[in-house]
Amino acid sequence: MIPILAAVDPWILTFSLVTVIATMGMGFWSAGKSKTAGDFFVAGRSVSVGWNASAISGEYLSAASFMGVAGMVMSSGYDALWYPVCYACGYLFLLLFIAGPLRRFGAYTIPDFAEGRYDSTLFRKIAVIFVLFIGFFYTMPQMKGAGTTLAYIFKDVDLRGILPGSLLPHDAAGLATIGFPYWAGVVIVGAVITLNVALGGMKGITLVQAFQYWAKMFAISVPIFVLMSVYGGYGTHLAVNDNNPAVIQTIREPLPDKAPKNEAWISPFGPLTTKAATRAKITGEAARPYSLLYTYSLIIALVCGTAGLPHILVRFYTNPDGVAAKRTTMWVMILIGIFYIFPPIFGVLGRSLLPGLYLLTGSKGSDGIVLQLPKLVNDRIPLLGSILSGITCAGAFAAFMSTFSGLLVSMTGALAHDIYGRILNPQATARQRLIAFKVSAVAIGIVAVLLGTQVEQLQINFMVGQAFAIAAASYFPLLFMSVWWRGMTMKGAATGMLTGGLLALSGISLTSFSDLAALPNAGGFIKLFDLNSFWAAHPLFRILCEQPAIWTVPLAITLMIVVSKLTRNDIPADVRMKMLVLHAPESLGLKKEYIQEHAAH
Amino acid sequence: MNEASKVDIHSEEFLRQLMRRQLRLSIACAATFVVVLLGLPLANYFLPELMATRVAGFTLSWLILGVLFFPFVWAIAWFFIKRSIALEQEEAREAGGGDR
């Protein structure tokens, strides 16, 4: 074991291990202090807006924000900026239309809200499935973040002779090489977090989540300030991307042929949004309308999706009232907005300083730029680079660990509480429920790890964007329409949510499967999805499947209106009272009245 | 309930007015945001040369999206919260519950 560790940078290993141990330790410490869901929410009420906003931000900033955005800016340039901007600005829709009313209604989760708003336990059971769909799409990129980080930390380890060759990383010629296999990183991190959640650690406690935000903020900002002071600023490195020969290029390493050209990279409608048209051999001016369509659909998915993420909305109930919920949302926008200025800088500097990453794929490619870039400083100031790289590795651990465990807790809750406790075995004893929770956690953890091992070649940020697109077509229309339109019926809400959500899910799965099927070493059943000649012939269809929000969101809302009009006899009898609770200021005391009325039934 | 209520909070008019006022504010703020958000791709599409102007190394488009967009959205959020809290206080006063 010792000769293996000798190949690892001690600073990076130490910082990473400290983060893992601290995160798990804090999880167990706080889990011991609050036993029930009730404790969690009551404890939250004593927390100020500032703490609560930090906690929501800490939960939100996942591997996609910490690693994926930088990697995507490096590989795709300008178009990738829509991701961080819409991740942050999506909260505005949440603030304007959903945060205050939902807090006043007092349902803890989206399934709770679905049940309460339509007095229907059936609808609750329907609504809960999207917690699982969105959750699995969100865990895949977290797993890729884990695999990428471990592959970087142990990149010089030689496992040849210890593991069989088929399990090791390969070079282009198919020979086993030194380095840590991607799948092993996914399995190790997935197993550790799953075990931790099953044993009861990692409950979503405000203090731990708030600490996570500040740790990630520190880890993304301090290394970039040092890098910019050593190698030149944000603007300087953007200025190099110019075809004008008068611009001095000395600060940049030579770009490989595989890297996008300056013009395509820095201008809008670059490689990311023109991909479908390029495959169809449509180039130049003719490709631009396709890019515009892709851009709009992406924006709609991200902005509407933020307002429909189940693991984020649950945190809004730790606010004491609707006004505090609004104030918290504004502070979240400020905290994550400041954070999102930094990852693109890593991408821009990475293009100048580490262009070699353009030649590599999977866990060795540009998704690891945040981890690798700071180490360059070692050439100028010995040791400092290792320390900074250790800090960004620690930030990456904080990002994928907190988000993966948060998702695992909410998905396990959905499976154990809603599907087992309410559908399969409503008479379960407390002990059976506890066992069900543990079994569900392990089952979901195993599925998440298996899915995670398959996605090495997909970009972290892209995958998270796909989870947003599903949320945008399912939960966002449900919440938005239920809060603002009295005429909604359960049947209308269910039809719109299911149709929009499932169509988005199908389109997205189809494109991701076919991308995986196109890889040279794809095998088995995934080969069935090789649709690439079809996509090349129909670029428009490809864009509408890959980024479906532009048609699924309006479709879901239209179906909700049409079906609700057709079934208007089913509008809940006390809808006026429900609407008052959603919209009237808390100081009128309507909430109390509503609960008494319900208890009397 | 408060005896001094000037408005019946269970009446249809109260709810209608409550929702309409708040929705109007939300839509006004959302419209400002959406015009800029959806306008930027259009500017990129129809005015590519202007958006490629260099400002301290940044292209204009990069500067807007990567940096300036965030404070713009914070300003909308701040305005919305200020107005929406004022609206709530007004509603509570009208309904006679504001002194609670």
CATH of the domain at A160: 1.20.1730.10
A538 pLDDT exceeds 90?
no
The verdict on a CB contact (< 8 Å) between B59 and A585 is: no
- Chain B positions touching A92 (Cβ under 8 A) are 29-30, 33, 73, 76-77
B43 located within any domain:
yes
The verdict on a CB contact (< 8 Å) between A334 and B74 is: yes
- Output the DSSP codes for A145-161: HHHHHHHHHTTT---BT
Q: Quote the CA–CA distance of A110 and A95 in Å, as a whole number.
A: 16
* Percentages of chain A per state (helix, strand, coil), in multiples of 5: 80, 0, 20
For the entire predicted model, the pTM comes to 0.91
Whole-number pLDDT of residue A287: 87
The pairing of strands B54-55 and B58-59 is: antiparallel
Number of domains, chain B:
1
Domain of B58 in residue numbering reads as 12-86
Q: Quote the CA–CA distance of A25 and A8 in Å, as a whole number.
A: 25
Whole-number pLDDT of residue A427: 83
Rounded to a whole number, what is the distance in Å from the CA of B34 to chain A's nearest CA? 10
CA distances from A255 to A313, A353, A354, A500, A577 (A): 43, 9, 9, 43, 64
Helix pair angle (A121-153, A430-453), 10° resolution:
50
First vs last C-alpha separation in chain B:
12
Say which range, A361-365, A458-462, A481-485, has the weakest mean pLDDT. A361-365
Average pLDDT over residues A209-233: 92
CA distances from A343 to A66, A67, A533 (A): 7, 7, 35
B24 located within any domain:
yes
- Chain A positions touching B19 (Cβ under 8 A) are 484, 579, 583
A597 located within any domain:
no
| Residue of A78, A79, A96 to mutate, testing the B interface (most B Cβ within 10 Å of its Cβ) | A96
Whole-number pLDDT of residue A417: 79
The verdict on a CB contact (< 8 Å) between A337 and B45 is: no
Chain B residue closest to A594 (CA)? B10
The vertex-A597 CA angle with A591 and A600, nearest 5°, equals 140
Residue pLDDT, tens place only, A107-155: 767 888 898 899 888 898 888 889 999 999 999 999 999 999 999 998 8
B21 located within any domain:
yes
Closest CA to A132 of A557, A419, A399: A419
Q: Which residues of A46-58 are buried (b: 16+ CB within 10 A; e: fewer)?
A: ebebebbbbbbbb
The verdict on a CB contact (< 8 Å) between A590 and B9 is: yes
Contact status of B17 with chain A (Cβ, < 8 Å): no
CA distances from A346 to A85, A238, A570 (A): 16, 11, 54
Closest CA to B23 of A96, A488, A575: A96
Whole-number pLDDT of residue A168: 81
Asked if the ipTM is above 0.90, the reply is no
Q: Computed from CA positions of residues A564, A565, A568, A573, in that sequence, does the dihedral angle turn out positive or negative?
A: positive
B91 located within any domain:
no
Residue pLDDT, tens place only, A252-307: 888 888 888 888 899 899 888 888 888 888 888 888 999 999 999 999 999 999 98
B95 located within any domain:
no
C-alpha R_g of chain A: 24
The verdict on a CB contact (< 8 Å) between B77 and A329 is: yes
Tell me which amino acid residue A84 is: P
Domain of A333 in residue numbering reads as 2-592
- Chain A positions touching B33 (Cβ under 8 A) are 89, 92
A601 located within any domain:
no
Most confident residue range from A150-159, A197-206, A277-286, B70-79: B70-79
- Chain A positions touching B15 (Cβ under 8 A) are 576, 579-580, 583
The verdict on a CB contact (< 8 Å) between B73 and A323 is: no
Average pLDDT over residues A453-472: 92
For residue A70, the SS3 value is helix
Number of domains, chain A:
1
B6 located within any domain:
no
> What kind and span of H or E run contains A40?
helix A37-45
B92 located within any domain:
no
